[in-house]
Structure 1
Amino acid sequence: MKSASPRAVRARGIVKCFGEVVALDGVELEVEPGRIHGLAGPNGAGKTTLLGLLLGLAVADSGTLEIFGTPVGRALAAPDGVTGFVDGPGLYPSLTARKNLAALAALRGRDARSAGIDEALAEVGLTDVADDRVRGFSLGMRQRLGLAAAMLTKPRLLVLDEPSNGLDPAGKRHVHGVLSRLAADGTAVVVSSHRMDDLEELCSEVTILSTGRVVFSGPLTKLAAETGELDYRLVTSDAEAARQVAAGTPGITVADETTWLVVRAGVPALDELVVRLVGAGVAIRELAPVVSPLEAAFLAITDQQEPNR
């Protein structure tokens, strides 16, 4: 019988302190190969510290950390097959994009001609600026070059801190596509971001940290189910008829707007509302959360106040 492949990351009871500050307090984390796992949390929650442990930039004070089944030792070194960046990629501003990647390849003992530099630049959409000096790059271009540098190593585990930082919509879509393709090929990806829409679009699972502790870890579907009632923007062909149907649906709270409704409901009540609207001949043109389930859960779990609409 074939044994199951080890998890890309398995952390148990991780504690990390900086003086009297407890950055991580008994953190548990599991990441499977071929998955994109999101990390969320307010500033100071411990996200950067956790990423640093995965990259070998720091070691835990206690607890165990395994990367692909191999225990991480006490030495400051990136485990085999792990790459990425924290607080932005480290680049040489006076060198071109191509020469930055060639320098990285040389540090790893690889010949620039066979390192796949052109392929990596093409993958992140930087072919046209491959011979431009990095000092003139925008923040988003630097982020994409950092991703290209990480891809040169053919990582089994890719760890990224705010990879969409500074990207325009087209650049973000490009980077999301790259990460999704890497995951489809079996790479485990851990992404930290303050942008809930990025995490919802990219990740199948998320871990939320608050004051160094894990307050949720699991599939986004489970998080959405645990969020409870949400406010939804409902646009229909007949706002008044929709209001009457919604008012008569158990579990629905209605707030009138000018040409649409805002309804507060849990998932079962929302499903029933949709059935009733269709039965009443009211066309549904838009039904979407005012605040995404992940953002709503994040705000609730971390005891932050939801901003006014």
Structure 2
Amino acid sequence: MEPAIRTHGLTKRFRHGQLAVDHLDLTVPAGSVFGFLGPNGSGKTTTIRMLMGLIEPTSGAADLLGHRMPRAAGTVLPQVGALIEGPALYGFLSGRDNLIRYDSADATADPRTRKARVAQALDRVGLTSAAGKKAKAYSLGMKQRLGLAAALLTPRRLLVLDEPTNGLDPQGMREIRSLVRELADDGSTVFLSSHLLDEIEQVCTHAAVMAKGRLLTQGPVGELAARARGRLAVSTPDPGDAARILKEHGVTDLAVTEDRVTGEPPAAEQDLAVLNAALVHAGVRVRGFGLERASLEDAFVALTGEGFDVAG
């Protein structure tokens, strides 16, 4: 199938010389839930704005749903729902009336089913009870929900969501995560920019990592995590002695708790059995020993050298 999004050498340099996006070659498979990751300032939002035709690239090209953007914006955008950098709302209107305004601006939307579709969109994001409340009285999380509802007024082939869980409490995050899965099951491709790695790991099928405007890697989420080395974990009632022995044998970044020691295995290839034998020979009582599966966070840190807000 034709990818939902494909870029070729996509580049954006602003007037003051800042290179925000540097020759980006991105492929988003149709039907995927695609996580777009990167530290602040990595170029994620600039990329999304180019994809949606909001700003022109300096060079390169972006195709959405098989059409070149922004040239084909009139054809493509009616098939795309988007929430970018927070929703733009009329504060003096109710949540319901904001959605009616959004829907009225869509030339492809059937006015005969408008009220029913607005009600359904409000229900899907959990805002039915607040539909009559003025938007200026909404919390940040409620505004995010309303913006997402606007993107869901009609079925879309592609949804582009920039930090959709921003401002939501844990329950709200779970609801949005469930909704994203539903949308993918219904056949939509979801392109999801987020700073919450655990959310991406739970809901996304594919992901890409950017840093300083450049694409570092992309692919299925499981494969990205598998490329990172797991941490060595030792369960023992003798954590102090275990940490000392492991350090002597090249294990770094040690973390010690009451009954557990974890760390980065030596860079040089070394049989883990040798490390285990060294612990036993030193009298350390080993109750558990092995490599923990690497997470998407491990892969991200290995690629960018930066920490990440994984808890939200």
Task: Encode CA deviations 1:55-86: one digit per residue, 9 max, x unaligned.
Answer: 22122222122112122244776634112122
Separation in 1, partners of 2:38, 2:210? 5
The secondary structure found in structure 1 opposite 2:122 is helix
1:56 aligned partner: 53
Separation in 1, partners of 2:33, 2:103? 26
User: What does residue range 296-307 of structure 1 map to in structure 2 within 5 Å?
Assistant: 296-304=298-306
Separation in 2, partners of 1:155, 1:184? 13
Separation in 2, partners of 1:194, 1:231? 26
Shift of the alpha carbon at 1:281? 12
Shift of the alpha carbon at 1:197? 1.3
User: What does residue range 225-304 of structure 1 map to in structure 2 within 5 Å?
Assistant: 225-230=226-231, 239=237, 256-262=256-262, 264=264, 293-304=295-306
2:211 aligned partner: 210
Structure 1 residues 129 and 80: alpha-carbon distance in aligned structure 2, compared to 1, 3 A threshold: closer
Separation in 1, partners of 2:165, 2:62? 27
CA RMSD of aligned residues (A): 3.5
Separation in 1, partners of 2:128, 2:308? 42
1:31 to 14, 28, 33: 28
Q: Which runs of 5+ in 2 are unaligned?
A: 274-284
C-alpha contact (below 8 Å) 1:34/1:185 kept by paired residues: no
2:209 partner amino acid: I
Structure 1 residues 57 and 112: alpha-carbon distance in aligned structure 2, compared to 1, 3 A threshold: farther
Separation in 2, partners of 1:164, 1:208? 19
Of stretches 220-229 and 100-109 in structure 1, the one that deviates more from structure 2 is 220-229
Task: Encode CA deviations 1:205-249: one digit per residue, 9 max, x unaligned.
Answer: 1111111110111122222122113365x7x7x7469x98xx89x
Q: Percent identity?
A: 36
C-alpha contact (below 8 Å) 2:117/2:154 kept by paired residues: no
Structure 1 residues 112 and 299: alpha-carbon distance in aligned structure 2, compared to 1, 3 A threshold: farther
1:142 aligned partner: 143
2:8 to 12, 20, 41: 12
Separation in 2, partners of 1:183, 1:219? 15
C-alpha contact (below 8 Å) 2:42/2:212 kept by paired residues: yes
Of stretches 107-116 and 29-38 in structure 1, the one that deviates more from structure 2 is 107-116
2:90 aligned partner: 92
Separation in 2, partners of 1:300, 1:231? 16
C-alpha contact (below 8 Å) 2:297/2:308 kept by paired residues: no
Separation in 1, partners of 2:8, 2:30? 18
Structure 1 residues 62 and 96: alpha-carbon distance in aligned structure 2, compared to 1, 3 A threshold: same
TM-score, normalization: structure 1? Answer: 0.80
The secondary structure found in structure 1 opposite 2:77 is coil
2:281 aligned partner: none
TM-score, normalization: structure 2? Answer: 0.79
Separation in 2, partners of 1:62, 1:306? 30
2:173 partner amino acid: K
Q: Which runs of 5+ in 1 are unaligned?
A: 273-279
Task: Encode CA deviations 1:158-202: one digit per residue, 9 max, x unaligned.
Answer: 111111111001111011111111011111111111111121122
Task: Encode CA deviations 1:139-162: one digit per residue, 9 max, x unaligned.
Answer: 111111111100013211111111
Separation in 2, partners of 1:306, 1:18? 26
Shift of the alpha carbon at 1:255? 5.6
